[in-house]
Chain A
Amino acid sequence: MEQHLQDLYEVLSKVDGYVYPNEIELNWSILIVLYPYITGLVAGAFILASLERIFKIRILKPTYGIALLTAFSFMLVATMPLVSHLGKPLRAYEIMITPHSSSAMAIFGFVYLWYLMVVLFLEIWFDYRRDMVIWAGETTGFKRFMYRLLSLWTTDISPKSVALDNRIGYIVTVIGVPSAFLLHGYVGFIFGSIKANPWWSTVLMPVIFLFSAMVSGIALVMGIYIILSKIRRQVIDMNCLDTIARYLFYILIIDFTLEGLDQIHRIYVAEESFEALHKLVFGQLFFTLFIVQGFFGTILPLLTLGTFQFYKPRAEIRKVIYLVLSVLILIGIFFMRWNVVIGGQLFSKSFYGYTSYKVGMIGAEGYLMAAIWLIVPFLILSFLLWLLPPWKKIETDHGNLEE
């Protein structure tokens, strides 16, 4: 048979019912799933760090540095899924050169830069400056050069200058919290403002994205802290871990409630799209929504963390369970992004049909590409932890100055 007819057969075999021609192929693939996922991890990790810094939860001290460096590593990679999805890396800078106020994406370029440079970079810089000056004196070669360069060849480590660093660091964090909310709220905003798509178009979307971001970021830092302590053969501060788990529990409750509210609202309002979405949810999204995101990613961690609030098993067991939960939550939130991004494209806007999506392995939109952008932040984090180990820092009590 002729090639184009074969292609047509292949395309139509993916479709069920009536679908507009431009809905057969999904334009937003797994890389666009990854993009809100990674930005969410950044925002969540930063908010965990700010709990220690602004809300003065001292017990979280051991994870403060890890959380900041994690946020920074993931932030450096946050735009890469977008760049590789668009496939024109040499044009990527144009969004910053010729921005337009009517383009949410262009404005995001500046939100991103603000968050990366003014919030994360400055906070880490002020937090590490004194240590970098000291380390520059103790090390040689590449490390010494890096410390000198990063501390901008400063040498002043008088108590007065350190106190100033702390104060500015505090102000930066105060600015950082709304910035983190803005950063991730924006990602939800992009989806929430697509009026033509009933699966996305809800004002709750930015809020839901924000809380799921916090959940995933906190779970990530919790997992990294456990693994890092294991690698470094250090005793895990169980009080710290339990506190993180408690905050994770609280935020998970809010996240679960908000998502439940969103669904209940959909069911109650039952707009014209309801039947199509109902079929979608119980059809193609059943596994990723109910089993992975709902049960393994939300209900199971909620029940376990809830049980831990009044019954705590031995520390050894708790540690393992926390690690497993952190992985489950991370997978669950990934599939929350999946259900939003992919789910929103699976049904026809005519509400009469469905298309299907199968992620390939190789190619610019394959899962190998996605895996690369998930591994790279961990490589950056390993480098940063080697260069700026939070556990070698001189203890500063962030609380003394502001009180």
Chain B
Amino acid sequence: MPQHIKRLIIAFSLFLALFLVLRQVLRPESFGELGHFRAKAIPENAMRPMHYTVTDSCTKCHGGIRSEKDKGFHKNLKCEVCHGPGLKHATYAGQFKNGALPDSLKLYKPGERKDCIICHQLNAARIKIQFDTINTTMIHQIDPVKHNPGDPDTKEAFKCIDCHSPHQP
């Protein structure tokens, strides 16, 4: 075999060997143990702090609101959709019975127009529904500029919750 072909084969073999070595070195340790992924990714993700809880843990203390909510349009919404992540609140708030709840455990109480129109803002890209049908799969839309903007005399803006109960709108 001519000299240059030999050298070429050696160069390619070195390249291949380097690739195989790198493959061994760079391949993540737990890769392939459970499937075509890094097995340690599962415990790593499980260790991440949790923020959300289940609606049933809210019901333990706020059962009245839950039964109110279950009768209206918002029955399919989790409490945390409006009030934010509540695991910390659900775990520790029970220890502060007398209203002395520290700020870090307080949940968000949406009550302003801006809160409601996150979902109910008129949106051309959403399917319109008739107001007289009870349908929880579609969202009522209003134009926040035209829909009862405020008191005509005092110019004070109305809040949505002045007329609509957020738990049973």
A-side interface residues toward B, CB under 8 Å? 1-2, 4-5, 8, 12, 15, 17-19, 93-94, 96-98, 100, 117, 125, 129, 151-156, 160-161, 164-165, 168, 353
Contact = CB atoms under 8 A, between A and B. Distances in A.
9 contacts: A5-B117, A93-B22, A98-B31, A100-B36, A117-B12, A156-B2, A161-B2, A164-B2, A353-B125
Contacts of B3: 154-156
Contact of B4 (A8, A94, A100, A129): A129
Contacts of A153: 7
Interface size for chain B: under 10, 10 to 19, 20 to 34, or 35 or more residues? 20 to 34
Interface string B1-42: 011110110011001000100110011100110001000000
Given A12-B123, A12-B124, A154-B7, A4 B118 contact: yes
A93 B7 contact: no
Contact of B125 (A12, A100, A156, A168): A12
A100 B37 CA distance: 10
Given A12-B123, A12-B125, A97 B11 contact: no
Given A17-B125, A129-B4, A97 B36 contact: no
Given A97-B27, A161-B2, A17 B124 contact: yes
Contacts of A155: 3
Interface in B87-139: 114, 117-118, 121, 123-127
Contacts of B5: 164, 168
Contacts of A129: 4
A351 B39 CA distance: 40
Contact of B114 (A2, A17, A94): A2
A152 B7 contact: yes
B8 A97 contact: no
A98 B27 contact: yes
Contacts of B12: 117
B125 A5 contact: no
A400 B163 CA distance: 93
B4 A18 contact: no
A97 B125 contact: no
A96 B20 CA distance: 11
A5 to B, nearest CB: 6
Contacts of B114: 1-2, 5
Nearest to A18: B125
B37 to A, nearest CB: 9
A155 B3 CA distance: 9
Contacts of A5: 114, 117-118, 121
B31 to A, nearest CB: 6
A98 B15 CA distance: 18
A152 B8 contact: yes
Contacts of A4: 118
